[in-house]
């Protein structure tokens, strides 16, 4: 016979573990989001801050691998560091988990535009590129990156 009390206790125990996992995810995710949002206030993005955001996002991704938001944010970080190859890698991963997440396609178009610009610049000698200036990119972090109840 099925023990409903044992089933109820197991469900409560699982819910507690799920909540702890979500808390572990949200801490680095929100930290990265805050860093990235703060970068838009600086005229020149700090490589140190970008790396800090990437580390926090890597931690969040390790905990919740199937949400597109941290992958898109990671793609944005790599885009800002002008590592377009890595940015596209994270865009593709975000598309795999949610092909309909609007910010994925928006950022993909921005990266493609800048990739084309960089290809044009590659034909002429130029100094080592610095991170992309925050105010040169229109990529709103608005409500699309606020997570629903997970």
Rg (CA), the chain: 19
Tell the CATH superfamily of the 15-125 domain. Tetratricopeptide repeat domain (1.25.40.10)
What is the CA angle 75-71-42, rounded to 5? 50
Burial class for 99, CB neighbours closer than 10 Å (0-12, 13-18, 19+): exposed
The residue whose two tokens read 């080592």 is 128
Pairwise CA distance, residues 20 & 22, whole Å? 5
Q: For residues 33 and 146, what is the distance between their CA atoms, to the nearest angstrom?
A: 9
pLDDT per residue as tens digits for the range 46-68: 888 899 999 999 999 999 999 99
Average per-residue pLDDT in the chain? 81
Confidence band of 149 (pLDDT split at 50, 70, 90): very low
pLDDT in tens, 1-60: 567 676 677 677 776 677 888 888 999 999 998 888 887 655 566 888 899 999 999 999
């Amino acid at each position: 016979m099925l023990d409903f009390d044992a089933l109820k206790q197991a469900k409560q125990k699982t819910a507690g573990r799920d909540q702890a996992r979500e808390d572990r995810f949200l801490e680095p995710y929100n930290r990265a989001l805050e860093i990235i949002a703060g970068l838009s206030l600086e005229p020149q993005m700090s490589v140190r801050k970008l790396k800090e955001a990437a580390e926090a996002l890597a931690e969040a991704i390790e905990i919740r691998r199937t949400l597109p938001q941290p992958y898109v944010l990671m793609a944005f970080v790599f885009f800002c560091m002008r590592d377009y190859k890595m940015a596209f890698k994270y865009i593709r991963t975000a598309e795999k988990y949610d092909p309909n997440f609007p910010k994925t396609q928006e950022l993909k178009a921005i990266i493609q535009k800048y990739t084309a610009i960089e290809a044009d610049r590659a034909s002429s000698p130029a100094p080592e590129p610095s991170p992309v200036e925050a105010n040169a990119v229109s990529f709103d972090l608005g409500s699309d990156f606020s997570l629903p109840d997970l």
